[in-house]
Amino acid sequence: MAAGKRKRSEVRGRGRGGNSDAQARLKQHQIADRPPIYAIGNFDDRVTVLTQQHRALNLAWALIESGRLPMAPDQERCRIAVLGGGFAGLTFAAALINKNARCTISIFEERDTLLPLQQGSDTRWLHPHIYDWPAPGSEAVAAMLPILNWTAGRASDVVVEALAGWSDVVEGRTGGTKVELWCNTRHIQLRERDNGNALIEWVGESRDVATGRAAARPTTVGRSAEFDVVIVAVGFGIEPGGRSYWRNEVLAQPGLEHHASTYLVSGQGDGAMIDLLRLKISQFRQDRILSELFGKRAELVAELRGLRTRFLNDPSLSLYEAFDDLTGRRTVAGRQMVDARRALTLRLRRDTQVILQTKPTVRSIGDLLGPDVVRTSFQNALLVYLLYRCGGFTPAAGDTDEVAERFKVAEPFIIRRHGVDRLGQLKRLLPERLFAPIQEAWEADGCRAWRQPSNIAWQGGYFGTPGRASDFDKLNSADKAVARKEYLPGPTALMAASIAGAIAGHLLALRPGTSHLRLTIHRVIEIHGEALLQQACNYVGVGPLDQARTIARTFPADNATIGQAYRTRRTIRIGPEVPRRELDAAMRKLRLNNASRAMARDVRFVAAMPLLQPSQEFFAPSPVCAILYFDSRDENFNLTEHEFVQLGHLLAQTFEAARDARETGLHRVDNTPLHGLMTAAPPALALDPGVARELTLVAAPPPELKRRFVLNFDHSDLTPLAN
């Protein structure tokens, strides 16, 4: 046996052990063992662009951390087939590229371009978190993904943003991962080889990987190849027997006729509900209507958050009855529910009449939003309930053709939203031996064993770092400096850089002879339940600064000097007369090298100042919302206690001004909290006793804001309609 073959078998053997959490995730994705086939979201009820991307990243993480994929340069490459060039397939491939996996990835897309369903779709709006509404963070316009990130917008614009991200990932490859792309693929057939691998046959066109473009004279060829792993990322699919949800139409536009048009919407899921709402609410957009109806009704939103939690956890809950109960209460929230209904009445279109046709057994809105039937998301169910209470549509149970005949609705005005054939594409791809058990599982319990939660499984900074999580120490200093990056909004980075620059100017005015001063700001974020400190701007100051773009990298909240400022909620500085070797030892104790490169050899002064929210009301996960960090290589650089007090006042005032500016009309910039409010802070922790000599607490209390605050400024194109 060749040495390369031994390396590959060792990788597969290790895959049967490894990270137990990763193994559990793999079981939810693996629909066949010989050959190894993994599916992304084929059998889940909650399928959005973002949840599919989460599942794709979770699968990539699980395959890597379980040892199923080779990662070391001396291991033989693994061949991976990705069936589908949509959001899930591209996100999965991009993840392996970023991790520098030792793989050759072949992407097969049966249509002419990448992301074909949403490309050119100008009448569909995508918002990454709207299906979590009214949970904290659901208004955030960015998907906040480490790769292939996108922001709320028309589906066609989201595609452009995602493809630009894909191109950046492909162009930034360092050689570990190779990729080929085939479009217009036909006759994709999979069968098992004697060695347990998959043999795939196809006819298709080879395309440029970064752009998806064809050559000047594209040629179609028939090929076959052997693959170690197959990823089924066929995505949303197309509804059989009707116009695709993603095709452009004019439902949301005012009619040009002089009479109202009657439409029939057939279906009970989110697609049908969205088209119903578009037909009956003027200038409809999910985020806009939710903001207008509920944005200033805090008591009602609090009640709805609790109700949504019950909805997700109690299968016996009737949303119809719960909404009715809330509307009838003589409370602030109850009155606000009535006010929301009245506000919606003013937005009804008068140029359309809509019949909502449901199955014969669903004879009322109470049935539609009841526990045995409801198939729509919480916020769509709420809007449909309010629309019904406004008299905005007529429910009708029965067969589509029979209801259309009863209400005299012509075929062009019938909108069918009956979902996709989930098994159809698998049946076309897989041989009968592999498809039969899937069909049996579907008929038995809807393939419950292959339901995949979309909550994040990876740790913060994971996809911003090559290799497995345990390989970080093997990176060189230059790679460590730019590793562990996560999404950082541009407006947040701009604001942090402006504040950091102003503070640097203040410190240099205090110490005009300073030859070196380096300063940055970290914000507090949370990923996978772990608090992280993210560098919100590149270093500013004077003298040698980092040439590397360290912006957006993340640190565990207990690491290094900034971690001590976070845990103690006090300003931290270097102790008096601490030799450099002792400072290095302290940084090792504080695990600086676990998340970053080593500190520069000639740094002589370090300090970190936390900015606090009021402890009686703050956004989770901590009263700390930001941390100012600065260091200097000057032998005699120092600040007095009084100067630390002045610095704290300046830090607080600049952030107060930033918050007040948003509240007085930045319009296209929003500062969205990602987590809920807390009213009791756990006690701050003591300074790590292992570094109590090298680092010390500044006596003056840290700066505290007057009101709760989060550093998450981001662009928003949401313009509310005038009242």
Q: How do residues 308-326 score in pLDDT, each as one tens digit? A: 999 999 989 999 999 999 9
Q: Determine how β-strand 695-697 pairs with β-strand 572-574.
A: antiparallel
pLDDT at 68: 94
Residue 1 lies in a domain: no
Question: Cα(537)–Cα(531) distance, rounded to whole angstroms?
Answer: 19
Assess whether 373 and 283 both reside in one domain: yes
Closest by Cα among 151, 120, 137 to 50: 151
Residue 483 lies in a domain: yes
Residue 611 lies in a domain: yes
Closest by Cα among 718, 722, 577 to 291: 718
Domain range for residue 293?
261-416
Question: Cα(289)–Cα(281) distance, rounded to whole angstroms?
Answer: 9
Assess whether 341 and 314 both reside in one domain: yes
Assess whether 182 and 283 both reside in one domain: no
Question: Cα(586)–Cα(675) distance, rounded to whole angstroms?
Answer: 33
HSE-up of residue 115 (Cα within 13 Å, Cβ side): 25
Assess whether 164 and 265 both reside in one domain: no
Assess whether 406 and 446 both reside in one domain: no
Question: Cα(498)–Cα(403) distance, rounded to whole angstroms?
Answer: 62
Please answer whether residues 146 and 462 qualify as being in contact, where contact means their C-beta atoms are separated by less than 8 angstroms: yes
Q: What φ, ψ does residue 252 adopt, rounded to 5°?
A: -85, -5
Assess whether 149 and 94 both reside in one domain: yes
pLDDT at 352: 95
Residue 86 lies in a domain: yes
Residue 464 lies in a domain: no
pLDDT at 660: 67
Q: With H, G, I as helix, E, B as strand and everything else as coil, classify residue 704.
A: strand
Closest by Cα among 289, 328, 378, 287 to 336: 328
Classify residue 77 by its DSSP letter: P
Domain boundary among 416, 432, 460: 416
Please answer whether residues 712 and 489 qualify as being in contact, where contact means their C-beta atoms are separated by less than 8 angstroms: yes
pLDDT at 216: 75
Q: What is the dihedral of CA 243, 247, 251, 252, to 10 degrees?
A: 150
Query: H-type helices in 560-613, by residue range?
Result: 560-568, 580-589
Assess whether 446 and 521 both reside in one domain: no
pLDDT at 341: 97
Alpha carbon separation from 27 to 44, 135, 144, 304 (Å, rounded): 15, 29, 26, 35
Alpha carbon separation from 5 to 11, 17, 197, 466 (Å, rounded): 10, 20, 14, 24
Assess whether 433 and 480 both reside in one domain: no
Stretches where the chain sits below pLDDT 50 are: 1-17
pLDDT at 450: 94
Question: Cα(243)–Cα(250) distance, rounded to whole angstroms?
Answer: 13
Question: Cα(450)–Cα(442) distance, rounded to whole angstroms?
Answer: 10
Residue 271 lies in a domain: yes
Assess whether 296 and 173 both reside in one domain: no
Please answer whether residues 476 and 68 qualify as being in contact, where contact means their C-beta atoms are separated by less than 8 angstroms: no
Assess whether 143 and 42 both reside in one domain: yes
Residue 651 lies in a domain: yes
Q: What are the structure tokens assigned to 585, written together?
A: 């030892």
Look up tokens 């109590």; give the residue. Answer: 692
Assess whether 377 and 269 both reside in one domain: yes
Mean pLDDT computed over every residue of the chain: 91
pLDDT at 601: 78
Closest by Cα among 353, 529, 538 to 458: 529
Across the beta sheet with 352-358, what order do the strands follow?
394-397, 352-358, 261-266, 414-416
CATH number, domain with residue 545: 3.30.450.40
Assess whether 444 and 475 both reside in one domain: no
State how many domains the chain has: 3
Interhelix angle 286-294/332-345, rounded to 10 degrees, is 130
Q: What φ, ψ does residue 572 adopt, rounded to 5°?
A: -115, 140
Residue 722 lies in a domain: no
